[in-house]
Amino acid sequence: MMSSSTRQSVVEVPPAPEKKLGGASSSSSTEEQARAIIRTAKRALEDVDNSVARSLERFLANRRTKAPAAAASSSR
């Protein structure tokens, strides 16, 4: 517990004013950052979708080529 001689006073600090960046408020800068993040996330999802689609196409192509060979060997 603090003694009264070491107690510090609490000073309330008002919120900082919005900074101007090139004439734009920080809220518009935040919105621009959010848009950039969303664009990047959408591109990443598209890349994943394309990668998954390519993998699925390869898998199905391999199955198509292996299926006739497997059917021929099992009918002998």
Domain-embedded: residue 42 = yes
Higher pLDDT, 69 or 24: 69
Q: Does the model's pTM come out above 0.85?
A: no
Predicted local distance difference test score (pLDDT) of residue 2: 47
Where in the sequence is the domain holding 66, given as residue range(s)?
25-75
- pLDDT, one tens digit per residue, over 28-65 is 899 999 999 999 999 999 999 899 999 999 999 999 88
Domain-embedded: residue 19 = no
Cα within 13 Å of Cα(57), Cβ side: 6
Domain-embedded: residue 10 = no
For the chain, the domain total comes to 1
Mean pLDDT of the chain: 77
Predicted local distance difference test score (pLDDT) of residue 65: 86
Domain-embedded: residue 59 = yes
Count of CB atoms within 10 A of residue 76's CB?
Answer: 4
